[in-house]
Amino acid sequence: MDQTGFRDILRKGLPYWDCLSAQDQNKAVSSAKLNIYKPKTIIPSGTDDLSPGIQVLRQGMARVFISSPDGKQLTLKRILPGDVYTFGISGLLDPPGPLSIETESACEFLVIPRSVCRELCGSPAVKDVLIREMQHRFSQVLRIMESVAFSGMGARLANELIEQSHFASSSMFAITHERIAADLGTAREVVTRLLNQFQQDGVVALLRGRIEILKMKELIQIRGEYLGEVSRTIYPDLY
């Protein structure tokens, strides 16, 4: 991809692009590089000047997650094409924090190094946009943690299935019980038990490595309005 393509991606992805001078826009484009990752790759983070400062997903899907000391995971958000990894303004801080990114398909990230990001973030106008963006992302994380704390596992599982259906643009999608358990921060056995109950109720069909939603209205009722509102907040373009 040439620099014209890079410019289009950054113009659409960076919320503060219009606040940058023409010189800084050119600097961002010239410093950007395209990183390609295979599925199931943990994208490394670092604190040196050449490590990623801002990453814009051009193609594919990835997830942002946290891990407990015993290895349990909880997915906070999925990164979709056009999204900027701004949880990771942590990428501009030392240390980068406990968040990790794992690709769920083949992914292409357009990356700007930390050293260049620090230069771009120097103007008051850019800082103002970044503060608002960080507040928005922090609010999203709080909503996710509230949903974990105050919603039952059945409702959270229903929400996960609905979101996966939206991601796949289909009522049938490929996913394992282990992946769902990692997303929800629970045990695979819990997920399997609840999915079997959903199947007995005729809401879903469990296939080999896939799940098909048979009754979306019933699944939405199980999810409840609260989790529906949270999901629409996190993924407004899906609804």
Give the model confidence (pLDDT) of 207-228 as tens digits. 999 999 999 999 999 999 999 9
CATH number of 3-122: 2.60.120.10
CB atoms within 10 A of CB 186: 18
Q: pTM above 0.75?
A: yes
Higher pLDDT, 195 or 15: 195
pLDDT in tens, 105-119: 999 999 888 888 888
Domain residue ranges of the chain, discontinuous segments joined by +:
3-122, 151-238
Residue 63 scores a pLDDT above 70: yes
Distance of alpha carbon 239 from its chain centroid, rounded?
16
149: Cα within 13 Å, side-chain hemisphere: 6
Assigned CATH class of 151-238: mainly alpha
Q: Using an 8 Å Cβ cutoff, are 83 and 133 in contact?
A: no
